[in-house]
Structure formats: C-alpha cells, structure tokens
Homo-oligomer: A and B are copies of this chain.
Amino acid sequence: MASFVLSMAVILFFLFWKYPVVAESDGVRVAAIFVVGAALSALAGWAGMLVATKANVRTTVACTCGSLNDGLQVAFTAGSVMGFTVVALGLAGLTIAFWALRSGGTSDKEALQLLSAFGFGASTAALFARVAGGIYTKAADVAADLVGKVEADIDEDDPHNPAVIADNVGDNLGDVAGMGADLFESYVGSILAAATLGADSSARVALPFWLSAAGALCSISGFFLVSTKQEGNGWNVQLSSLMWAMEKGMYFAGMTFLVSAAAITFSLFEAAEAMCIFGCIVSGLVGGMAVGKTTEFFTSFDHSPVISIKDQGYTGPGTVVIQGLGVGMLSTVPSTIIIAATILLCAGLAGGYGIAIASVGMLATLGITLASDAYGPVADNAGGLAELAGLSSSVRAKTDSLDALGNTTAAVGKGFAISSAVLTSLSLLAAFRDQVEIPQGFDVCDPVVLSGILLGAMLPYLFGALTMLSVGKAAGAIIDEVRRQFDEVVNPKGFTLRSAIVRASAGQAIPPEEDVMPDSDRCVALATSAAIQEMLAPALFAILSPLTIGFLVGPRCLIGTLAGSIVSGCVLAISMSNSGGAWDNAKKLCEKLQIKKQAVGKACIVGDTVGDPFKDTSGPALNILIKLMAVTALTISPMLKGKADWETWKVGVALVSIMVSSVYVLKARGVLSWGHAPALPRPAKTSKVGVAEVFPAIGG
C-alpha cells in the first residue's frame, strides 16, 4: 500500500508542478497533503483494528465474569475507539491542512482546490482497506463455511477448521478497518465538497467544519448513555429493547447535535438563509436514518423478506439465491426514493450547497454511528472465541445476544454508509462541475455526456465483478489448502485432522491425545497474499478511469461518467449489500430455529456463501469506487478547466482501441485469468474427471 500511495503522490507532484493552481510549489504541497490524507485514514483503521482485536477477548471475558451489560460496554467502547479516532483524525487533519494551505495568502477557493488531494489520499487508503480487506475476509469466510459447515458438517467456529482463524482475522480487517476507512472518506469528502461549493462565502466555508466539530462533541455525550439492564438469552433476546440500549445514545447525540446545529447556522447566517440550511441538515439526518431503517427491514430476520428467503430453502439452494437477489433488488426502491427526495428537498432549500450540507449533517454524529457499527464484529468475534474456547452455554447466550444486536447495527450502518457515500459523491460531482467551466453545458441527451453516463453505469459492474471473482479465486485456493490439511495434518499419535472432524461433526467428545489441531497460519498467509494480489486490478481501474476519460475525452464525458457511476453504483451497492445481509440473516434464522443441519439450512448456507462477497466485498467496495472517482476528478479539475472535447468520432475509435489494447495487455500479464486450471489445481479425488483431463479436450 505504501508503495502505491507514494507512486500516486509522485504522479500528483508532477501534475501539479506542471499545471499549478497557485504557484510551482503546488506539486509538493498537493503530494504531501495526499500522503497525509492516506496516512491518517490508515492510522484510524489500524487503531480501530488493534483495539477491536484485543476487545474480542475482553468481551468474551466480560460475558463470562459479568452481566450482558458488561459485555456490551466493553464491545461498544472498543467500537467507539474506531468511531472517535476517525472523527478526530479526519477533522483535525482537514482543518490543519486547510489552515496550512491558506497561510501563504492563498484564497479559500484556491486552497480548497488543493485540499481535495486530502480526500483523494483518504480515498486511496479506503480503497486498500475496503477492497483488499473485503477480499481477504470473504475469501476466508467462504472457504471456512463451504469446507466446514457444508462439506464436513461442523459448527461455524469449530476449532478444527483450518480457515476459522483467517475468518476471524478477516472480520476485523474488513468490517472494522474497512468500514472505518470508508466512512473516514465520506466524512472528509462531505466537508470538502460543502466547503468547495460554498467557497464564495466565508460563512459557508466555515459551516461544515463547525457542524462536524459540534457533532463530534455530541457523539461523545451520547456515548455515555449506552447501557442495558437485559440478561443475555441467545438469539431469542428482546431485540427491540436491546437495540434501545444503543439507540438512546444515538438519538441523544442526534438531538443535541440538532440543537447545536441550529445555534451554529443561525449565528453564521441571517434568519432566512439559516432556516433553509438548517432544513438541509435535518433532512440529511432524517434521510440517513430512514435508509438505515429500510435496510434493517430488508435484512432483519424479524421481517418478511428474510423469512421468505428461508422458506425458499424448502425448494433448494437455487430458489434461495433467486429470492435473495430479488429481495436485494427490491430493497433499492425505498432507499433510492428516500435519497432522491433528500436531494430534491435540499436542492430546493439551498441548491447544490444544500445537498453537500445534508451529507455533512448526516455524517456529523459519525463518532457514535461508527462506534455502533464497529461494535458488531467485536461482538461477533467474541461469540466465535467463546465457541473456540468451549465456554459454557450461558456465556454463549450472552455473546449471541450481543451478536444479534451487532447484526442489526451493522445493517443500519451499511445503509448509512451507502447513502452518505451517494450524497458525498454527488456533492463532489457538483463541486467538480463548479470548478471546470464548460460553455456547452452538460445536457443529459448530448451524446458525449450520455455515452459518459453509459460508461459510468458500467464501471460499478466492472469493479464489482473483479472484486467478486477475486473472492472466488482466493477462496478456491484456501479451500484446496483446507482439504489438503484434512488429510495431511496428523498429530503425533497418527490421527488425521479428518478423523477429529468426523467426531466433532457427530458431536462426540474427543480425548485430548486423539485431537488434532490444524495449521491455521498457512491459511492466514495464503489469504493475505491472495487479497493483495487481487486488489490491484480494481484499484487501477478505479483511479485510471477518471484520469483517462478526463484527459483524453474531456470533462463533459467525465461528468457523465461520474453521474452514471454514482447512480448505478448506488443501486448496485444497495442491492448487493442487502441481498448479502438478507442471506446472512436467513442462515441465522435457520440457526435460531435449529434447522440449520436440515436441507433448508443447507440451502440457506449456499445463499450465505453467495452473499458474503456481496455484502462485505463488492457492495461496500462500490461506496469507495463512486467517492474515489468523484474525488479524483475533483483533484484534477484545475487541469480540466475549460478543456474542449475531442471530436466524438475520435473518441469512439479511441474507446474501442483502449479496450482492445487493455484486454491484450491484461491477458499477456495473466491478470485476466478466470481462476481455473493452473492457478487452482483441484484435488483429483473430488471428481472422476480431473481438471487435467478436461482441459486438453476442450482447448481451455
């Protein structure tokens, strides 16, 4: 990651040194700010992950020695570290960088143009945390599930499964660090966009900073309210009441934030303008919550969508997958309408600046929202540890209750992440449009803009496909390793791992001297190297697309591309995340009903396997994609100012040639492999016709 960030910094240095906004020193300043943005994002993720990893054990201990509330407090505090670090580093970094940039007599507008490199840096770091992290976590998870639960018929966190440790590590990596970096990017991006759009008035530049600072303080006050008096009783816990334990903190933070936001806006602006802007803040906050609640409806097992997925399990895994995809696609409807309504409301109240302020308002109490989100994986892993360590069922009951709560907060958090990503990137788009001044305008029916929209709509699919296929490839490698270990890992007494697994599956006690433990480290190493290797192609596509289209074709096509990628990315991300969440909870519903070892349960596990890369790799990665493309465009906007388009027919020819040549280059470099044959030699024993015999016959 460091080498990638540094090489991007060098490119930025040369670009801004050649085409400076203010002075030739721009190159150095932009490159430095870019690196700082990336470093702070990575630091926040690293801190959150460090605390979360330790908190896993402590939560298990708290559940063993204390009440459910003790466990909740430990896990939630761990999540808060992440939340408050992200907010503190984001706000402080941005403020200091802005102050440093303005110091040399530079105007607000010019300083903000350079400051977008901070957001670009944050996006680049988020790309790594979310995409590589997402591939890692889900490859491990898919492998652990398929070989453990489906093939060997053992429990989810059974210590005999070699991929369980990699799976648990991945939960922290993807969900904690990835989510943190994602929202760090949104947080920074929304402030940046609002300030850029309000660059003509100093009050409008100051407002997003004030709001974010007030929101951070309110989040801290809300933090102290989180507690519960419930007892742990597994998945049958009264979820609404347990949810209230967390919601009372969030609502308190939201309320106090609204009061302080009103005070801030009315002191910065005169009454009429303040009224409108405050309206935007309120609609941002309400819109974010509404999308979160919608997400909860579609993914919680208390509601009909998830129950219908489980029911389709009676007709097999195929119908489970169809139903889950349908539920996910349907779930885009209310969310999209809410987001569109928020956009229209805010635009009516205060124009493009209103939309940007709505996303600042939505993200202002990020401290506590992110805390409740990062809490989820801690609780999940605490449960995993309780099972791995073979603790008593009363402990497991408490950790399961915490896990059920985490499940809900994670769903709400995902809806929140997507809607904030969409609003943020739309604001960045509007900021970009302000920066590049094109006389022809951006008519949606203009072929240049329209083909940009079409290409943009395709990019989330490319990005989603690459990340999803990567999960398949990496998971395949881990599965082969796990299967190898089943037969080849032998303890001193000569018992194979498989023998221990057969007993574990049958629920028999295994005498310590006959027990066999797998080589988990090899799985972790395999998953790590695969994830890093696999993320390069999507990362390059995400950064190079706006650069290529912007410089080669022109800013009008780029605006189209950004608009297309935002809308298409929004619906695809919602659809994938919610499908994934719904399958996950359909599986959990089967566990709760204790039918997970029957045909229905197995069908739902197949759904969950498909859903894993949906909800934790590709879906969230799209949040990053749309913000990254928008912030990249904003960063290079000074160079695109007033740039004329290419003639359209040249563009057409160029597009096709770029495609053909990149296919050839990628094919030659082996990046376009489909993950079969040499990359993944399958053990011959799984089938009578081995892969080696098959390929020559069909010329693959």
**Measuring CB to CB, which residues of chain A are less than 8 angstroms from any residue of chain B?**
142, 145-146, 150-151, 301-302, 304-305, 307-308, 311-312, 314-319, 321-323, 325-330, 332-334, 336-349, 351-352, 355, 426, 429-430, 433, 441-445, 447-451, 453-458, 461-462, 464-466, 468-469, 471-472, 475-476, 479, 559-560, 563-564, 567-568, 570-571, 575, 589, 593-595, 598-600, 605-606, 609-610, 613, 647-653, 655-656, 659, 663, 674-677, 680, 682, 686-689, 691, 694-695, 697-700
Q: A443-B442, A647-B348 are in contact. Are A321 and B321 (CB under 8 A)?
A: yes
Are B304 and A471 neighbours in the complex by a CB distance under 8 Å? no
Are A458 and B332 neighbours in the complex by a CB distance under 8 Å? yes
- In the complex, besides A315-B479, A457-B571, A458-B571, 9 extra interface pairs with C-beta distance below 8 angstroms are A150-B318, A304-B674, A307-B698, A316-B606, A318-B605, A327-B465, A336-B455, A348-B447, A348-B652
Inter-chain CA distance A691–B593, complex, in Å, is 11
Query: CB-CB < 8 A to A302: which residues of B?
Result: 698-699
Name the CB-closest residue of B to A328.
Answer: B465
9 of the cross-chain contacts (CB-CB < 8 Å) are A150-B316, A304-B676, A312-B476, A312-B675, A332-B462, A337-B655, A341-B653, A568-B571, A593-B698
Inter-chain CA distance A151–B304, complex, in Å, is 27
Q: A146-B319, A315-B476, A652-B342 are in contact. Are A461 and B571 (CB under 8 A)?
A: yes
| Residue of A345, A430, A457, A647 with most chain B CB atoms under a 10 A cut-off | A457
Q: A326-B468, A348-B649, A653-B341 are in contact. Are A316 and B609 (CB under 8 A)?
A: yes
Min CB gap A312→B, angstroms: 6
Inter-chain CA distance A287–B674, complex, in Å, is 26
Are B472 and A322 neighbours in the complex by a CB distance under 8 Å? yes
Query: CB-CB < 8 A to A337: which residues of B?
Result: 455, 458, 655-656, 659
Are A465 and B339 neighbours in the complex by a CB distance under 8 Å? no
Contact with A606, one of B146, B589, B606 (Cβ below 8 angstroms): B606
Q: For the complex formed by this chain, how many copies does it contain in all?
A: 2
Contact with A595, one of B311, B336, B687 (Cβ below 8 angstroms): B687
Min CB gap A263→B, angstroms: 24
Inter-chain CA distance A609–B320, complex, in Å, is 10
Inter-chain CA distance A323–B674, complex, in Å, is 9
Name the CB-closest residue of B to A290.
Answer: B656
Inter-chain CA distance A563–B455, complex, in Å, is 13
Contact with A461, one of B333, B426, B476, B689 (Cβ below 8 angstroms): B333
Inter-chain CA distance A655–B334, complex, in Å, is 10
Min CB gap A298→B, angstroms: 11
Are B613 and A343 neighbours in the complex by a CB distance under 8 Å? no
Query: CB-CB < 8 A to A317: which residues of B?
Result: 317-318, 606
Contact with A146, one of B315, B330, B589 (Cβ below 8 angstroms): B315
Are B442 and A687 neighbours in the complex by a CB distance under 8 Å? no
Are B455 and A444 neighbours in the complex by a CB distance under 8 Å? no
Are A649 and B308 neighbours in the complex by a CB distance under 8 Å? no
Are B332 and A461 neighbours in the complex by a CB distance under 8 Å? yes
Are B329 and A687 neighbours in the complex by a CB distance under 8 Å? no
Inter-chain CA distance A326–B465, complex, in Å, is 4
Are A466 and B330 neighbours in the complex by a CB distance under 8 Å? yes
Min CB gap A31→B, angstroms: 29
Inter-chain CA distance A461–B567, complex, in Å, is 12
Question: What are the 7 A-B residue pairs with the smallest beta carbon separation, nearest first?
Answer: A318-B609, A347-B447, A308-B674, A348-B648, A348-B649, A329-B465, A344-B652
Are B343 and A454 neighbours in the complex by a CB distance under 8 Å? yes
Query: CB-CB < 8 A to A599: which residues of B?
Result: 686-687
Min CB gap A241→B, angstroms: 15
Are B476 and A319 neighbours in the complex by a CB distance under 8 Å? yes
Inter-chain CA distance A662–B441, complex, in Å, is 37
Are A457 and B652 neighbours in the complex by a CB distance under 8 Å? no
Are A314 and B686 neighbours in the complex by a CB distance under 8 Å? yes
Are B305 and A674 neighbours in the complex by a CB distance under 8 Å? yes
Q: A317-B317, A455-B340, A469-B330 are in contact. Are A311 and B687 (CB under 8 A)?
A: no
Query: CB-CB < 8 A to A441: which residues of B?
Result: 441, 443
Inter-chain CA distance A456–B349, complex, in Å, is 23
Inter-chain CA distance A510–B475, complex, in Å, is 45
